[in-house]
Chains A and B, each alone.
Chain A
Amino acid sequence: MQPPTAYLDPAALAPLRHLVFASRRAVTGHYAGQHASPQRGHSVEFRDYRAYTPGDPLGDVDWKVYGRTDRMFLKQFEHQSDMAVHLLLDASASMAYAGPEPVKRRRTPRRSPRKTPPPTVAGSKFDHACRLATAIAFLVIQQQDKVALGLAQGGLHTALPALGTYPHLHRLGHTLEETRPAGQARLPAALHAFAPRARLKGLLVVISDLADEDPDAVLAALDRFLHRGHEVIVFQTLHADELVLPNLGSVVLVDSETGRELTTDLDDLRENYARRIEAHLTRWRRVFGARGIDHRVVSTATPYPEVLRDYLFTRASLR
């Protein structure tokens, strides 16, 4: 079967089908589902008794208890509803980094026409983030839940509503394929704009490199979701070169978003940079940890199924 999007590889996700992408918090939904909900429903799982108050449906009165105690009690049962997962992807220019371009060498022209060059493996941070987001969407829809998508590019650039159908997965994949990273993300603005679309308690997954973002502003934006009872997961996606500087010697670095240039020798500052990046990530980890937000650093060197599997295993063990 043709996959709905180039970013999705069902075969790679087959080992993850038995895992449930669920929230650790109770969620609310319109329909019955498999996730715990604060609502009371009519399932077989008994939960509690409560005293009858006028207006309660008489059908819910436990008549056996009434016969023994001459008091009217209502029997309450657990309610499980479906879940909406809101994906917010960073589509800024910094997400387009795919590593240093190979040095162009002058070649002598050949008489025979050259074959078309082999397709380059898309290895940008955005590609990696898209694969991860599509995989999560696929798993969520497969478990009968709904998924919504938002793209942060100068605020909220694109938003798809939460739906749980495969055509929706097609649309989601197509949207990601059509998107080209550019400009700045302005993640807080995007979160603020995305918040009204997530009214029911659910799960918010943010996939971003958090480059040049103000932690306080980001946290303030996330608070809107947290206050509504959402669980928030942040996948901080970084290229392998951002974690360990490439071995390029003396280079002129150009900031992908601001265009600022820096002439330096990467060999000389590799050690110092490693300390800096570690401190940078630790800061984000502390910021998110203080609010109970799951924070994961994702390297493009690690395949996304592996990232997802590790994360789901970890969540399962903490339940």
Chain B
Amino acid sequence: MRFLAALGLTTPAMLFGAGLLLLPIAAHLLRRRARRRLVFPSVALVTAAAAGPAATSRLRRWGLLLLRCLAVALAVLAFARPVWVPAAAPGVGARPAGTGAAATVVVVVVLDRSASTRQLTAEGTPVWDRLRRLARDELARLNDGADLAAVVLADAAPSAVFGRLTPNLPMLREALSGIDATDHRADFSAALGLAGELLRGGPEGARREVVVVTDGQQTNWTGVAGLGLPNGTTLSLRGPGDGPPEENTALRLARALPGRPGVGVPVQLGVEVAHFGKAPTRQRVDLIGPAGQTDSRWVRLEPGERRQVDFTRRLAEPGPQRFRFALGRGDALAHDNNVDLIVRAVRRQPVIVVGGGDSRRAGSASYYLTRALAPHGGARDRYRVTHLAADGVDDAALRGAALVCVAGPGVPAAVRAYAEAGGSVLVFAGADPVRSGPLLPWTLGSRLSSVKLDAEGWRAPELAAFDEAAREALAGLSLRRAWGVEAVKPGARVLLRFRGGSPAMAAHAIGRGRVVAAAFSPAAETGDLGKVGGFVVLMQGLAEELAAREPTPAPSFAGGPAVIRSAIGEADVAAAAEVVYSPSGEPVSGVALGFEAGRASATVRRADTAGVYVWRRGGISMGSVSVEVDPRESDLTAAAAETLARILEPREGVAFAAGRGRDASRGGEALWGWALLGALGLLGLERGLLGVWRR
């Protein structure tokens, strides 16, 4: 029995092949039944000849049957891949010498179920299956009814199966069968802390053990500190014992630039491809559009290299559109080979012009700004321009605007709030400008007369749309009235200067937004700037650049929160008892509704699965968000045993059982070669005996 206990099978399902034993037995029986009747002339002689060998031949036949059955049994055993696991690591599971059977052992198994445990081994089975089997084996070593155990699932938010220590070990083992790996990154600090809490709740005087069953992924263990285990706890480690897989390539951090592109405007859809492996690889990255159209791009990656792969698309329809990046070839971890990206296209981006006089009166700053931003005055324009008087501006009016242009004379407080929340603001200095303030990148000084813009220095990204001819045209204009700058704030960038060196345009960040200020005005009373075509180019370029600066929502990772911003700014949050659906189509619990950046939002407190979460109200889709596998999970490199030993070294009275435990399927001495050799030997013996006996 001890021998059988030390014998493990890697693929026990192959034992079903034992049914093949029926073949030699059936052949033996059929041979007996399939006798022919033969009318023979010399039966007397045959009878005399058969007198001796009958008993011997019967024995031989049984011997041959035995050899054949043994050969088949050994072959089946070889396919089940037996391993010899001599003994468990000391101190774990097994009872210490001298302890009576009545001594209680309390064991907490910390089971790693991070995304990396979904990786496939060389045999094509998930590492998770092995880890789960190891955990079950640890529980199987305990005495049912006498010992206590708990299983802590180590993911982003560790929790204990049944929430407490339990003596019902069969039920605990059964519960493990229904648990699957997650897309999370494991928080081992929290998991070990929870294990410590459970151990403290155990009976006094009991022997305490913590068994960590993990794939040993390095990124999961980096930063683990403070085990939080009670004194006298024995800590040990179990793992599959595999080296890192040959290669894993991951897609992550999908983004769109601009984040909210206009219809027909080129948008850059990009994803980062990272390669973790020992050899260079060549991968095909596919971009699959909403209608299934696919673009592909090949990329060659060196070991450890990360590369951005971009596709340029023009979105034909407004509204949210779902794209998917996919790798052309599978690898060890399939869950990071696909990334979704939700891009919300708008037909005409809203732009608010604040102040600047009556927009219907020719010559006013707002008149020229409106014309420059929407020259066609209709649906063909890329921007939908709304003019507001300075005193009519509030937070609600600016909500959802891609850009706010302030033409003076003052700057409403709501504009500042809009900028700090992430909006883009363009401020022109009018006839009586605000000279300084937190919104402006500078402090204006004295008034300048008849100045021209410098033809050089148009290198700022915001002015990248200008070609040589447009620059010359604008630089040739004489501005009758402009303002000098006393001081540029630290952190601000000067984008353009007047001839003579005084700053003409500058930009700085405020809050999460950005402000570009101009020391001139398009109003007719200050010059002819607003009348020339170059001003239209200037405004279109600035608007495109500033509107594109709307921050791309930071990617959400599985195991963390995911915020879904409503596409409908006026969403009735109070009545929005909507449902958020997970990527598998199941309703998600733990959703908080609120406002985010001026828009209604639904926050999924913990997005368990990577994929697209959709927020619906009735039949209307309020919005959606893509959740990715944590990029750190893609690096499947396992930490060296010494590294783990260093992390879990003895502290706080905790004894660490050095060395990683053995998985019956991987760690033991492989016996299948011997089994196969035995099967072949028996077959050879059977053939040999048959040949000798028949000769």
Q: Which of A239, A260, A280 contacts B45 (CB 8 A)?
A: A280
Q: Contacts of B35 on A, CB cut-off 8 Å?
A: 250-252, 263
| Interface stretch (choices A27-35, A164-172, A271-279) | A271-279
**Contact bitstring B22-55, A, C-beta under 8 A = 1, else 0:** 0000000001101111111111111111101110
A45 at the B interface (CB under 8 A): no
Q: Contacts of B32 on A, CB cut-off 8 Å?
A: 250
A103 at the B interface (CB under 8 A): yes
CB-CB under 8 A for A267 and B694, given A251-B37, A254-B38? yes
Verify A252–B38 contact, CB threshold 8 A: yes
Q: Contacts of B314 on A, CB cut-off 8 Å?
A: none
Q: Contacts of B450 on A, CB cut-off 8 Å?
A: none
Verify B54–A254 contact, CB threshold 8 A: no
Q: Which of A97, A249, A263, A268 contacts B41 (CB 8 A)?
A: A97
Closest chain-B Cβ to A69's Cβ sits at a distance in Å of 68
Q: Which of A209, A253, A267 contacts B46 (CB 8 A)?
A: A253
**Contact bitstring A206-244, B, C-beta under 8 A = 1, else 0:** 000101100000000000000000000000000101100
Q: Contacts of B57 on A, CB cut-off 8 Å?
A: 265, 268-269
Q: Which of A95, A97, A211 contacts B39 (CB 8 A)?
A: A97
Verify A252–B36 contact, CB threshold 8 A: yes
Closest chain-B Cβ to A106's Cβ sits at a distance in Å of 15
Q: CA–CA, A49 to B216, complex, Å?
A: 128
Q: CA–CA, A245 to B694, complex, Å?
A: 13
A264 at the B interface (CB under 8 A): yes
Verify A269–B38 contact, CB threshold 8 A: no
**Contact bitstring A246-258, B, C-beta under 8 A = 1, else 0:** 1011111111111
- Residues of A83-142 at the interface with B, using a CB-CB cut-off of 8 Å, are 94-95, 97, 100, 103, 125
Q: Which of A255, A260, A276 contacts B49 (CB 8 A)?
A: A276
Verify A209–B41 contact, CB threshold 8 A: yes
Q: CA–CA, A209 to B43, complex, Å?
A: 13
CB-CB under 8 A for A255 and B44, given A267-B694, A272-B52? yes
A11 at the B interface (CB under 8 A): no
Q: Contacts of B56 on A, CB cut-off 8 Å?
A: 268
B60 at the A interface (CB under 8 A): yes
CB-CB under 8 A for A262 and B49, given A252-B35, A254-B38? no
Verify B41–A256 contact, CB threshold 8 A: yes
Q: CA–CA, A212 to B42, complex, Å?
A: 8
The interface size bin for chain B is 20 to 34
Q: CA–CA, A211 to B45, complex, Å?
A: 10
Verify A256–B40 contact, CB threshold 8 A: yes
Q: Which of A103, A254, A267, A275 contacts B40 (CB 8 A)?
A: A254
Q: Contacts of A272 on B, CB cut-off 8 Å?
A: 49-50, 52-53
CB nearest neighbor in A for B690: A267
Q: Contacts of A267 on B, CB cut-off 8 Å?
A: 694
**Contact bitstring A53-85, B, C-beta under 8 A = 1, else 0:** 000000000000000000000000000000000
Q: Which of B34, B39, B53 contacts A254 (CB 8 A)?
A: B39
Q: Contacts of B49 on A, CB cut-off 8 Å?
A: 269, 272-273, 275-276
Q: Contacts of B61 on A, CB cut-off 8 Å?
A: 265
Closest chain-A Cβ to B352's Cβ sits at a distance in Å of 88
Closest chain-B Cβ to A243's Cβ sits at a distance in Å of 10
Q: Contacts of B37 on A, CB cut-off 8 Å?
A: 251-252, 254
Q: Contacts of B60 on A, CB cut-off 8 Å?
A: 268
Q: CA–CA, A276 to B36, complex, Å?
A: 23
Q: CA–CA, A95 to B49, complex, Å?
A: 21
CB-CB under 8 A for A262 and B47, given A242-B42, A248-B36? yes
CB nearest neighbor in B for A99: B38
CB-CB under 8 A for A103 and B36, given A267-B694, A268-B54, A268-B57? yes
Q: Contacts of A277 on B, CB cut-off 8 Å?
A: 42, 45
Q: CA–CA, A210 to B36, complex, Å?
A: 26
CB-CB under 8 A for A256 and B53, given A212-B44, A273-B45, A280-B45? no
Q: CA–CA, A257 to B41, complex, Å?
A: 7
CB nearest neighbor in B for A100: B38
Closest chain-A Cβ to B33's Cβ sits at a distance in Å of 9
Q: Contacts of B31 on A, CB cut-off 8 Å?
A: 249-250
CB nearest neighbor in B for A97: B41
CB nearest neighbor in B for A275: B49
Verify A256–B48 contact, CB threshold 8 A: no
Q: CA–CA, A249 to B28, complex, Å?
A: 12
Q: CA–CA, A263 to B43, complex, Å?
A: 10
Q: CA–CA, A209 to B50, complex, Å?
A: 21
CB nearest neighbor in B for A249: B31
Verify A269–B36 contact, CB threshold 8 A: no
Closest chain-A Cβ to B544's Cβ sits at a distance in Å of 81
Q: CA–CA, A280 to B48, complex, Å?
A: 11
Q: Contacts of A209 on B, CB cut-off 8 Å?
A: 41
Closest chain-A Cβ to B281's Cβ sits at a distance in Å of 58
CB nearest neighbor in A for B34: A250
Q: CA–CA, A138 to B572, complex, Å?
A: 124
Q: CA–CA, A100 to B40, complex, Å?
A: 9
Q: Contacts of B38 on A, CB cut-off 8 Å?
A: 100, 246, 248, 251-254
Q: Contacts of A273 on B, CB cut-off 8 Å?
A: 45-46, 49
Closest chain-B Cβ to A215's Cβ sits at a distance in Å of 14
Verify A264–B46 contact, CB threshold 8 A: yes
Q: CA–CA, A149 to B332, complex, Å?
A: 92
Closest chain-A Cβ to B521's Cβ sits at a distance in Å of 101
Q: CA–CA, A212 to B694, complex, Å?
A: 29
Q: Contacts of A94 on B, CB cut-off 8 Å?
A: 41-42
Q: Which of B34, B36, B52, B694 contacts A100 (CB 8 A)?
A: B36
Top 4 A-B pairs, shortest CB-CB distance:
A268-B57, A94-B41, A255-B43, A273-B49
Some 13 contacts from A to B, beta carbons below 8 A apart, are: A97-B39, A125-B41, A212-B44, A242-B41, A242-B42, A246-B38, A249-B31, A250-B35, A253-B40, A254-B39, A260-B43, A265-B57, A272-B49
A256-B41, A257-B41, A273-B46 known, 4 other contacts, Cβ within 8 Å? A103-B36, A250-B34, A251-B37, A269-B57
Q: Which B residues are within 8 Å of any A CB, using their own CB?
A: 31-32, 34-50, 52-54, 56-57, 60-61, 693-694
